Structure 1
Amino acid sequence: MTRADDEAVTDFRERFAQIMVESGMPRTAARVYSALLVTDSGKLSAAELAGQLGVGAPAISGAVKYLVQVRLVERGREPGTRNAYCRVHEHTWHRYISQSDPVLLQVQSGADEGVAILGADSPAGRRLDETRRFFAFMREEIRESMAKWQRLQAAEHERD
């Protein structure tokens, strides 16, 4: 790659990170995630991330911890070495969305409990019932969408 290409990738990486920040991701985590996305291997060491992003090791460590916690990346080691890296999960967004069901179910169940306590006829009970119904709807829509996505991906791979 030429220097101009490197600059274009760096500019894109930062613009994409800003999109992630605006959607609620912490800034350094967004920059780390974007750096991993634009790397062909999808993996970088903490030192490589720090060097690319111009931030210290503690900031990288905190960002990676957050990204692991929200299941967007994983930590690993090169076989036979002590070299650690951070890697984007394969099929990141499918995995991320698919794993959201327990959280959605928890909100749905909590709202259901609130309806039982407050009564379905009260204003608060009606709000909680709408919350319960919305999360039940979203869980089913996500399940169906993920199945559709898998079918589309399989068809795509058959064409390759």
Structure 2
Amino acid sequence: MDQVDRAIVECLKANSRAPYGDIGAEVGLSASAVKRRIDRLVEDGTIRGFTIVIDPAAEGRATEAYVELFCRGNVTPDNLRRMLTAVPEVVGAVTVTGEADALAHIRSADMPSLERALERVRHTAMVDHTRSAIVLSRLIDRSA
């Protein structure tokens, strides 16, 4: 990716529905040149897709927590992925360094549903215990 590609990607990150002409005006190219570059970025896998971002509160998932998972024995990432995929409130999960084996991001409608999701995670054979941090407010969110 060159600087122009990066500028196009930044425009798409701000508004993936922006017309090619508007992007071209921003980066100094014609609409057709922008389209060709975007097509190439999609074709080579740099751009993996286009999506919408919905306010979690509008979907009834305003309560969120980050949960550290401490597992028994040696647990593979595939086993953790299967277990966490079965809990629909888990919206993201990663393996991590440090004391915990993994970190799960959970979103739910309210505290009782968050507690039920945590119980489903805790009651699997591979999880010894968890440590949770409930989100009070978002300071920065660049995931969109």
TM-score by length of 1: 0.32
**Per chain length, whose mean CA-contact separation is higher, i.e. which structure has more relative contact order (CA < 8 Å, sep 6+)?**
2
Which structure shows the bigger proportion of residues in helix conformation? 1
TM-score by length of 2: 0.35
